[in-house]
Amino acid sequence: VFDFDGVIVDGLEEYWWSSRRAASRLRDGSCDALPRAVPETFRRLRPRVHSGWEMVLIALLLAEAAPEIPAAVERDPAWGERLAAAHGWDPGRLQEALEQVRSEALAMDRDGWLARHRPYPWVPDRLRRLADEGADWAVLTTKAAVFTDAILRSQDLRPLWIAGHERGSKAAVLRQLVAEAGRPLRFLEDRRPTLEGVRADPHLRPVRCYLVSWGYLTASDGQNLPDDIRWLDPRAFGAPLAAWP
């Protein structure tokens, strides 16, 4: 079971492109307050993002030049909810704006929108080889499934299933899988707090957790990992499943 953003695909350029447009619509319709190039603050804060709406929130705060973003975000795991409430933004509305921008892009400039996503070079072929090892693979993401599906199809990648945010929390989907699966389950993520949540859940003991080295990680995410969160770099990922840590 693979997380999508930061595990299969690097979409940083698209995250900013769509967040900038969504934020502009929520303000006054003009993008003038925000640069076209990915701002350094956005890049640096991406590892703190759990859901898409938080990226729109960062864009809104950048447009307002809110001085407290970096310090507050880097100290507080619940920064999104807290800053959204403090600035009077409803997360549901931000998520809706983001998905509206993406839906329109998909309808009007499909190829251009898809081209803003780059699969990590060592991932697509490795995913295709999983079938030779008798392993199914699936995608569990906080992105909406419709966008995830379009990006995967553009790379000719066909997972067994895709569970987007519509399906509930990642932990809830994994609990359902564990109850049904009856076979080993590996979960690859680039967000350490998500993996820590999984290992804290007694129902999810059968899930083998991997933190991938190549996604949106903070400088300290790979340090002092507990034994049951395994570090996976591209070389280990490329090895046969039986040789994985």
Chain contacts with Mg ion (rule: CB under 5 A): 3, 5-6, 190
Please, what is the minimum distance in Å from the beta carbon of residue 7 to Mg ion? 6
Please, what is the minimum distance in Å from the beta carbon of residue 29 to Mg ion? 30
- Residue 4: Cβ within 10 Å count: 23
Please, what is the minimum distance in Å from the beta carbon of residue 72 to Mg ion? 22
The residue type of 216 is: Y
- Which is nearer to Mg ion, 15 or 17 (by Cβ)? 15
- Which is nearer to Mg ion, 17 or 216 (by Cβ)? 216
Q: Which residue is nearest to Mg ion (CB)?
A: 6
- Which is nearer to Mg ion, 9 or 26 (by Cβ)? 9
- Which is nearer to Mg ion, 120 or 161 (by Cβ)? 120
Please, what is the minimum distance in Å from the beta carbon of residue 60 to Mg ion? 22
